[in-house]
Amino acid sequence: MRIVSIDPGLGVTGFSVLETRNKKIKLLAYGTIKSPPSFSLPNRLNYLFEETNKILKNFSPESFAIEDSFLSKNFKSAMLLGQARGALILSAAQSNLPVFEYAPRKVKMSVCGNGAASKEQVGFMVLKILKLDKLIKPYDISDAIAVGICYFNQET
């Protein structure tokens, strides 16, 4: 089973491509999608959409996992994140992929055993679970990988 997992953001979106065989998770690819801040909002959303389409086309996943929105005191930030998530989810929907959404606390609980874990703790656990040689940064990427690990823990 191969999935693309996403830590959404308008400025920086982390992604990973994970595959599981015999209950072992293998990291196939990872990176960030950075929409140019000079672009208008519609163009930034389109950029996220198109870059996600490229990832989905290149890796042919069977599922798409994305971190759900969190409650924010800043209404404008929450709206922008929601719009970014919409562009990313639309890409998956147009590729006929099932979309799985996980709350940030659920992802942290699944990976670290603590729903209030820090980004550093999540990055460290990703390193240990996947037996990597070094921490993957920025944390947008390790957060995306954690979403994928959560998917495998919850859905398989």
Residue of 50, 51, 62, 67 marked catalytic:
67
Residue of 7, 19, 51, 143 marked catalytic:
7
User: Which among 19, 8, 106 is positioned nearest to 60, based on CA atoms?
Assistant: 19
Tell me, yes or no, if 133 is annotated catalytic: no
Cα-flanking dihedrals φ and ψ of residue 20, to 5°? -125, 140
Tell me, yes or no, if 7 is annotated catalytic: yes
Q: Tell me if 80 sits within 8 A of 70, measured CB to CB.
A: no
Tell me, yes or no, if 140 is annotated catalytic: yes
Angle at 144 between CA 120 and CA 28, to 5 degrees: 110
Q: For tokens 């998770």, what's the residue?
A: 25
SS3 content of the chain, % helix, strand, coil (to 5): 50, 25, 30
Helix H or strand E segment including 29 = strand 24-34
Q: Is 123 exposed, middle or buried (0-12, 13-18, 19+ CB in 10 A)?
A: buried
Q: Which residues are catalytic?
A: 7, 67, 140
